[in-house]
Structure 1
Amino acid sequence: MLAPLRYGAFQYLAAGRLVNMVGNGVAPIALAFAVLDLTGSVRDLGLVVGARSLMTVLFVLFGGVVADRIPRRMVLVGSNALGALTQAAVAALVLTDTATIPLLLALSAANGIVSALAQPASAAATPQTVPPELIQPANAIIRLGINAGMIGGASLGGLLVAAVGPGWGLAVDALTFAVAAVAFVGVRVAAPPTEKTHTGVIADLREGWTEFTARTWVWAVVLGFMILNAALAGGVNVLGPAVADETIGRSAWGVVLAAETAGMVLGGLIALRVRVRRLLLLGVACMFAESFLLLGLALTPTVAVLLVAGVAVGIAVEQFAVAWDTSIAQHIPPDRLARVYSYDMLGSWIAIPLGQIAVGPLAAAIGTRDTLLILAALVVLSVLGMLTSREVRRLQAVNPDRDTDAAQAGSADDEPGDAAPAEPVARA
């Protein structure tokens, strides 16, 4: 299960992503209280956070092109160095009491662009660091690190804000970017093989789109998650706190969200051991569990019910996440992988603001309970829609046992910690 950690490039990649997630856990808490201390306005906080999200969505396709054109290590190091600079600037403004909303908006937008450059490269780098037969456990280890980093980062962020103020929390976030950049220097992998010469950005985007739409299972899942993510963003992130205020209380709602994250960690451990041929089918089917938290909030908003639902949701999310990343890595050509990931990210994220904006007026019109039931139904229908695709149901993962035997026969002299193996062969 831990075989990917024998490879030096993977060790550095996993460490860098773990440190990134610690910073991502600290940053929202520190930034939120920094803005509230500055103006006390939730509207201003929404603008600052929204600017980052908007820039990430707008530039993520360009990030995919960049990550397929130049070595992904260079993209990861450069984007994290820029992230360290932008967050250090935010921290300096807050600590010196010179921050203004326009300055925070500009720096938040810049950080969103940095995120758009980093995320496709980060997702596409994993298959370059391990042999093909270890892609699934490698993705599971990455996910474990991400969830552990988010848990630790959120806890650290709360402590820093309470003890020394939000400015120092933002400074720690800047430091995590710098540390991650140093870690990514060790991700020494070959650039994806490509036969093309020099083409424009539009041509690269068109090529990525062709690859994205050529496989029904890819666009069918992304389309399903466009609906699913919008429903969850509105139901859990917007209506969830409102229901908690009237029933279990704010602190208990925090415990429920922590239980979901704990479920993700448990799900990552389970995903390390799962060996099935139709891995994507299993991952998509697990997403029925995403409706549990919405149903619990609508029908039985008690601590016991919501805790169980949160753990179940966390476990299910990790089964899908590992199945999806493994399927993409095994079936998309390496030189187009980052662009396919960028279209995946764009499609999956684009409807989230719509869900967050629309759910309030809908709940005011028909009631919170009925709105949550409708959102739960949308989750179930989106999963059923994904499962109607014959390709989603029948896509087969690479046989781990068969490939492991073949790999061992061809690499008996490899030593743990050596340079990363050759780029895995694309499987159509």
Structure 2
Amino acid sequence: MPPYWPVVRNRIFGRVLPGLALSALGDGMSAVAIGWLALQCAPQHQRGLWVGLAIAAYTLPGAAGAVLLAPLLRGRSGAHLAALDAALRAVLLGAVPVLAWLGELTIGRYTALLAGSALLSAWGSAGRYTLVAQVLPAELHVPANALLTLITEAATVAGPLLAGLLIGWLGAPAVLAADAVTFAVLAVSFALVRARGPLPRREHRSAGFAAIRRDRRLVALMTLSFWFFLLFGPVPVAIPLFASSAQDVGLLYTSFGVGAVIGAIATGHLPRLPLWPAAIGSVLAFGLLLLPLGLGLPRWADLLTLALAGLAWAPYPTASMSIFQRVVPPERLPPVLAARHAVLVVSTPLGALLGAPLVQAAGPAATLVACGAATAALGLVAVVVRVLRPLPREHSDGRKAGGCTPAMR
């Protein structure tokens, strides 16, 4: 607890943590319900395709929102951006169970509502991490990012189990109703924040992408992240078909979450974590641990493998986000992080869309093996590139050794 205590005690950031934890629990439940409800609504012969479309719809529109909505949203505080995203999610996710209980929910309407709820996701993510950089000193960024990862992954332990029980009792739409309520609470939590500090600058809509292009470290990190998430994309499509029931899906996600929670706790106790080795090592280890899932092992072995994969995954979000926070000044973070999210939010849904026909043709087990092998290969390539072309070091105040980053000029 010691490394997290200064983060929790922060007067501003501490106020939104309960809402973040509750919303994360709702997301952990929805991770099961979104794919499961798509399975129930889709035509029998197109189930794999519609599961992939539903998962993509829940994230992909955030990329369009990051660019098209920039004129309306740039210059707003991190808390305001996060509040707007949560409010939109609450309204549109809440419409899903209403239509289901009225008997009017079709797979097309379901997918459209998921897509609409994701329009502000890039700005909401940017807002949360901008608040970290805005109200906390640089030495607390790694523990704060690790705490956010911990909250997210802890929810994948309890959330899928609760979702499995709730789906069996009331059905998948009830899970999305609960998630909508948690987003409403989160929207209120951020709306009440009055953070002091440098406000985001009003810049051209492409300022975030331009800042990333000018810094070789950010380009390298974005490339690694894009391919990592792309190769992960088919996994959520394969898991519902790999499992035998909604409860089984919940157990698989929960096992991953247990490992990720342990990994996030450990990461938070390493404030001097070497960020690049941690990020690349996470990619390599995750790919290797994904391989055994498709080898027909007993279910207990699959659960153990996913727990270890979660342990390997946990350092990546903390390390990658900390690199951005060290390179980019807080007042310029929202457009940069929105641009980052716009690129990455495409990768996982694109992987899901590409993985859907693969799951349909080769089966879920073969898909998991292929994803694991490709991810491990990506990690090896990153190691070789890092050795052959070393990158400038980041300092905790956001500067290179030897001068300002291009993003700060």
After TM superposition, the structure 1 stretch with the greater mean CA deviation from structure 2, 166-175 or 29-38, is 29-38
| Residue number among 281, 285, 288 corresponding to 1:285 in the alignment | 281
How far apart are 1:229 and its partner, in Å? 2.2
User: Which residue identity is paired with 1:311?
Assistant: A
Q: Secondary structure of 2:196's partner?
A: coil
C-alpha spacing 1:63/1:263, structure 2 compared with 1 (3 Å): farther
The answer as to whether partners of 1:286 and 1:320 remain within 8 angstroms in 2 is: yes
How far apart are 1:47 and its partner, in Å? 4.4
2:13 maps to what in 1? Answer: 10
1:119-134 to 2 correspondences below 5 Å: 119-134=125-140
1:233 maps to what in 2? Answer: 233
The number of aligned residues is 392
Deviations 1:39-64 (A, max 9, x none): 66535555444433332232234567
Q: Secondary structure of 2:209's partner?
A: helix
1:148 maps to what in 2? Answer: 154
User: Could you tell me how far apart the structure 2 residues matched to 1:92 and 1:371 are?
Assistant: 35
After TM superposition, the structure 1 stretch with the greater mean CA deviation from structure 2, 97-106 or 330-339, is 97-106
The answer as to whether partners of 1:63 and 1:116 remain within 8 angstroms in 2 is: no
After TM superposition, the structure 1 stretch with the greater mean CA deviation from structure 2, 57-66 or 112-121, is 57-66
1:314 maps to what in 2? Answer: 310
How far apart are 1:269 and its partner, in Å? 0.9
User: Which residue identity is paired with 2:17?
Assistant: A
User: Could you tell me how far apart the structure 1 residues matched to 2:115 and 2:289 are?
Assistant: 32
| Residue number among 337, 342, 364 corresponding to 2:338 in the alignment | 342
After TM superposition, the structure 1 stretch with the greater mean CA deviation from structure 2, 317-326 or 269-278, is 269-278
How far apart are 1:353 and its partner, in Å? 4.1
1:398 maps to what in 2? Answer: 396
Q: Secondary structure of 1:53's partner?
A: coil
1:177 maps to what in 2? Answer: 183
C-alpha spacing 1:252/1:28, structure 2 compared with 1 (3 Å): closer
How far apart are 1:111 and its partner, in Å? 0.6
C-alpha spacing 1:361/1:253, structure 2 compared with 1 (3 Å): same
After TM superposition, the structure 1 stretch with the greater mean CA deviation from structure 2, 307-316 or 318-327, is 307-316
User: Could you tell me how far apart the structure 1 residues matched to 2:173 and 2:273 are?
Assistant: 49
User: Which residue identity is paired with 1:162?
Assistant: G
User: Which residue identity is paired with 1:83?
Assistant: R
How far apart are 1:137 and its partner, in Å? 0.9
Q: TM-score, normalised by structure 1?
A: 0.78
1:21-420 to 2 correspondences below 5 Å: 21-32=24-35, 34=37, 41=44, 42=47, 46-62=52-68, 68-190=74-196, 192-193=198-199, 203-205=204-206, 207-234=207-234, 236-239=235-238, 255-276=251-272, 278-298=274-294, 301-303=297-299, 305-359=301-355, 375-387=371-383, 388-389=385-386, 395-398=393-396
How far apart are 1:342 and its partner, in Å? 2.5
User: Which residue identity is paired with 1:22?
Assistant: L
User: Which residue identity is paired with 2:266?
Assistant: I
C-alpha spacing 1:348/1:80, structure 2 compared with 1 (3 Å): closer
C-alpha spacing 1:82/1:253, structure 2 compared with 1 (3 Å): closer
C-alpha spacing 1:344/1:392, structure 2 compared with 1 (3 Å): farther
Deviations 1:311-360 (A, max 9, x none): 33212221122111222112212222122222322333434344334456
User: Which residue identity is paired with 2:76?
Assistant: I
The answer as to whether partners of 2:233 and 2:347 remain within 8 angstroms in 1 is: no
User: Which residue identity is paired with 2:225?
Assistant: F
The answer as to whether partners of 1:277 and 1:397 remain within 8 angstroms in 2 is: no
C-alpha spacing 1:356/1:300, structure 2 compared with 1 (3 Å): same
2:404 maps to what in 1? Answer: none
User: Could you tell me how far apart the structure 1 residues matched to 2:340 and 2:141 are?
Assistant: 19
How far apart are 1:191 and its partner, in Å? 5.8
Q: Secondary structure of 1:113's partner?
A: coil
User: Which residue identity is paired with 1:12?
Assistant: R
User: Could you tell me how far apart the structure 1 residues matched to 2:296 and 2:40 are?
Assistant: 36
User: Could you tell me how far apart the structure 1 residues matched to 2:149 and 2:83 are?
Assistant: 20
Percent pairwise identity = 23
Question: Over aligned residue pairs, what C-alpha RMSD do you find?
Answer: 3.5
C-alpha spacing 1:358/1:182, structure 2 compared with 1 (3 Å): closer
Deviations 1:203-238 (A, max 9, x none): 331x2122112222211122122222222323x334
User: Which residue identity is paired with 1:115?
Assistant: S
How far apart are 1:273 and its partner, in Å? 1.0
Q: Secondary structure of 1:350's partner?
A: helix
After TM superposition, the structure 1 stretch with the greater mean CA deviation from structure 2, 54-63 or 324-333, is 54-63
Q: Secondary structure of 1:69's partner?
A: coil
C-alpha spacing 1:299/1:85, structure 2 compared with 1 (3 Å): closer
Q: Secondary structure of 1:99's partner?
A: coil
User: Which residue identity is paired with 2:293?
Assistant: L
User: Could you tell me how far apart the structure 2 residues matched to 1:153 and 1:68 are?
Assistant: 33
User: Which residue identity is paired with 1:218?
Assistant: L
The answer as to whether partners of 2:156 and 2:253 remain within 8 angstroms in 1 is: no
After TM superposition, the structure 1 stretch with the greater mean CA deviation from structure 2, 173-182 or 37-46, is 37-46
Q: Secondary structure of 1:287's partner?
A: helix
How far apart are 1:102 and its partner, in Å? 4.5
Q: TM-score, normalised by structure 2?
A: 0.81
How far apart are 1:70 and its partner, in Å? 0.9
The answer as to whether partners of 2:231 and 2:351 remain within 8 angstroms in 1 is: yes
User: Which residue identity is paired with 1:5?
Assistant: V
The answer as to whether partners of 1:297 and 1:306 remain within 8 angstroms in 2 is: yes
C-alpha spacing 1:263/1:29, structure 2 compared with 1 (3 Å): closer
After TM superposition, the structure 1 stretch with the greater mean CA deviation from structure 2, 386-395 or 277-286, is 386-395
User: Could you tell me how far apart the structure 1 residues matched to 2:354 and 2:174 are?
Assistant: 35
